[in-house]
Amino acid sequence: MSATKPFLNVAVGVLINATGEVLLAQRPRDKSWPDWWEFPGGKIETGETALAALGRELKEELGIQITTVSPWVCYDYEYPKTRVRLAFFLVTAWDGEPKGIEGQQGVRWFKAEDAATLDKLLPASIAPLRWLSELSALYAISPAWHPESDPEELSQYVAQAIQRGVRLFQFRQPQWPTGTACPKLKRLFEHMLALCHAQGAKLLINSVHPKAWWAAADGVQLRAADAILLEERPLAESKLLGVSCHHLGDILNARRLAADFMLLGHVQASSSHPNESPMGWRKFAELAAQASRPVYAIGGLSPADLEVAQAHHAHGIAAISAFKLSQ
């Protein structure tokens, strides 16, 4: 970022209604970027916390009092004349009916994917809208399958996870008996991909599997050890790139690769890491706040932990065991 431009700290509210739509408002015509659509919010005053600024700004701009809010993503953006650090919050409950009371030309609810196509969309709002439209709060990582497993079990697994709200899956089979690149495993991946697409969900592939398979997937989940070997982002921007992280060095590396999101953990005691100490929620929040993009909490978690996770800067939770097929 240029050090010569004015720098502003800004609190931003992502209001989400009961149907999953987000609220955008058009900027007043007497301000810069007149009539451009943006998330509501405003400047954090000296001595004011980001949360206090958000509450004040939403009351002044929309006439509402926020009642349920969680910290989401904080990232920097450089405009032609200013630099801004945007502290985004997810706001899911409030008192009052949002309406423009500061000269906004429009205040409307949008599906995130529709809002992303607006002609006059404030540039700093583009990335958050993509995150909201493509990253569900629940991220299911495939449990261990075996060559003799019934293919119908995979169909049931995907369908059950979809019913629980999952829209993002990861194909990961590091312990496959005949290796992570065998033809039968590739056919299983292709079958899971078709199942996910039939349900409107996305499937990422773990980097333990051959790079030749990556193009077919909706994106890639890089292991931390694989990510550190890369010099640049390995995928087009149209694909999702996730990076698994365990400490600040991994997070900084994921940012260098322009990852779209991160997995961070393990947060709690986990059967997949029985001999490692969990980081806990306090450390998770400290690290997630430095990610500059959405972070999934992982490690000993289930959908029941989502509210706690989001209170600690998580976009959502990722899990293996929690989404295993119920018998």
Which pLDDT score is estimated for 149?
80
The CA-atom distances, in angstroms, between 234 and each of 84, 227, 229, 256, 323 are 28, 9, 11, 12, 29
Number of domains in the chain: 2
Q: Is residue 312 part of a domain?
A: yes
Q: Based on the domain organization, do 193 and 300 belong to the same domain?
A: yes
- Predicted confidence at residue 327, as pLDDT, reads 47
The reported pLDDT for the residue numbered 98 is 95
The per-residue pLDDT for 324 is: 85
**Residue 188 and residue 78 share a domain:** no
- Cα→Cα distances 44→25, 31, 58, 99, 123, Å: 19, 17, 12, 21, 20
* CATH classification of the domain holding 302: 3.20.20.70
Which pTM value belongs to this model? Answer: 0.95
Between CA 126 and CA 103 the distance in angstroms is 23
Q: Could you report the per-residue pLDDT of 239-287, keeping only the tens digit for each? A: 999 999 999 999 999 999 999 999 999 999 877 767 788 999 999 999 9
| pLDDT < 70 stretches in the chain | 1-3, 273, 327
Task: Give binding residues as ranges.
Answer: 27, 38-41, 61
- Residues at the binding site for Mg(2+) are 41, 61
Binding site membership for 8-oxo-dGTP: which residues? 27, 38-41
Residue at which a domain ends, from 104, 133, 162: 133
Q: Could you list the residue range(s) of the whole structural domain that residue 61 is in?
A: 7-133
pLDDT reported for residue 252: 98
Last residue of a domain, one of 79, 113, 133: 133
SS3 label, residue 161:
helix
Sign of the Cα torsion 37, 40, 45, 49 reads negative
